[in-house]
């Protein structure tokens, strides 16, 4: 991203910080960007727990995927008091009913490039992380992870999609019929692009925010977005994904209507 920004700046003859986001901090990047996707999901997840009358503290959480989003959300929910009972990366799945030490898992992953061999846990097939007994499931890796082949075994009461498209359309209907509260990817993983927008805003003004200000602003945005989607889903007696579609299309339609008819 730094190279892209530099190349465009050379072509235009002056520095153009705002042409791309995800830049290093020293070149107009934003504090908080690295964990923004996971942090936005945390804020949405707190709201989902309120809707379901649950507490995130003490909830059993399973995280499918341990890349940037998965590792960060595991760390953040653990800091909120949740018990992370299962995690996986591309090589191994891990399970511990009493909870996994996420800080130790992060150190082990950084040292060995894999979760394989982490002490004090049971190794399981990585996709079994989707179907372990848990309260909250966070698919944070691949699309089409929850399919008609395994959706019947999903035990979570809340699912928040950190990955893009981890639930197939057919599985959506099964989960809705089971009463599972699903926070769709367009909402659950929106923290990353939201903080990218904050980076662009900071670049335009050459005025850079503290990380605490970024996190507070992100929390407000995520809570507002969650309430909008939830209220729409409730109004039309539908699921959260359909509620998000209705709200988004309605906003575009309203903007088109009020602009007028020119030309």
Cα 87–chain centre separation: 15
Task: Answer whether 96's CB lies under 8 Å from 119's CB.
Answer: no
Quickly name the fold that domain 33-256 has: Rossmann fold (3.40.50)
Task: Answer whether 209's CB lies under 8 Å from 216's CB.
Answer: no
Task: Answer whether 140's CB lies under 8 Å from 113's CB.
Answer: no
What local confidence, expressed as pLDDT, does residue 263 receive? 66
Return per-residue pLDDT of the chain as tens, 263 residues: 999 999 999 999 999 999 999 999 999 999 999 999 999 999 999 999 999 999 999 999 999 999 999 999 999 999 999 999 999 999 999 999 999 999 999 999 999 999 999 999 999 999 999 999 999 999 999 999 999 999 999 999 999 999 999 999 999 999 999 999 999 999 999 999 999 999 999 999 999 999 999 999 999 999 999 999 999 999 999 999 999 999 999 999 999 999 987 76
Domain assignments of the chain as residue spans, ordered by start:
1-30, 33-256
pTM over 0.75: yes
What local confidence, expressed as pLDDT, does residue 94 receive? 97
Question: DSSP per residue over the chain, as a string?
Answer: -HHHHHHHHHHHTS--GGG-SS--GGGT--TT-TTHHHHHHHHHHHHHHHHHT--STT-EEEEE--SHHHHHHHHHHHHTT-EEEEEE-SS-EEE-TT---HHHHHHHHHHHSSSTT-TTSEEE-GGGGGTSS-SEEEE-S-TT-B-TTTGGG---SEEE--SSS-B-HHHHHHHHHHT-EEE-HHHHTTHHHHHHHHHHHHHHHT----HHHHHHHHHHHHHHHHHHHHHHHHHTT--HHHHHHHHHHHHHHHHHHHH----
Residues across the chain: 263
């Amino acid at each position: 991203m730094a190279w892209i920004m530099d190349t465009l700046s050379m072509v235009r003859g002056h520095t153009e910080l705002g042409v791309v986001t995800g830049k290093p901090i020293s070149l107009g990047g934003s504090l908080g960007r690295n964990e923004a996707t996971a942090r936005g999901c945390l804020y949405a997840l707190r709201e989902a727990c309120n809707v379901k009358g649950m507490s995130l503290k003490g909830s059993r959480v399973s995280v499918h995927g341990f890349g940037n989003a998965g590792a960060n959300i595991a760390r953040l929910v653990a800091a909120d008091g949740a018990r992370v009972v299962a995690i996986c990366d591309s090589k191994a799945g891990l399970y511990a009913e009493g909870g996994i030490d996420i800080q130790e898992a992060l150190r082990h992953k950084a040292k060995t490039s894999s979760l394989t061999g982490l002490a004090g846990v049971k190794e399981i097939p990585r996709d079994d992380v989707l179907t372990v007994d848990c309260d909250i499931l966070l698919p944070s890796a691949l699309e089409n992870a929850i399919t008609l082949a395994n959706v019947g075994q999903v035990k979570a009461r809340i699912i928040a999609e950190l990955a893009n498209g981890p639930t197939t359309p057919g599985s959506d209907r099964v989960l809705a019929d089971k009463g599972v509260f699903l926070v769709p990817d367009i909402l659950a993983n929106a923290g990353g692009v939201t903080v990218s927008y904050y980076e662009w805003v900071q670049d335009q003004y050459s005025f850079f925010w503290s990380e605490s200000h970024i996190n507070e602003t992100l929390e407000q945005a995520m809570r507002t977005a969650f309430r909008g989607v939830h209220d729409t889903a409730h109004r039309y007696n539908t699921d959260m994904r359909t509620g998000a579609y209705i709200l988004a299309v309605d906003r575009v339609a309203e903007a088109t209507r009020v602009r007028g008819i020119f030309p």
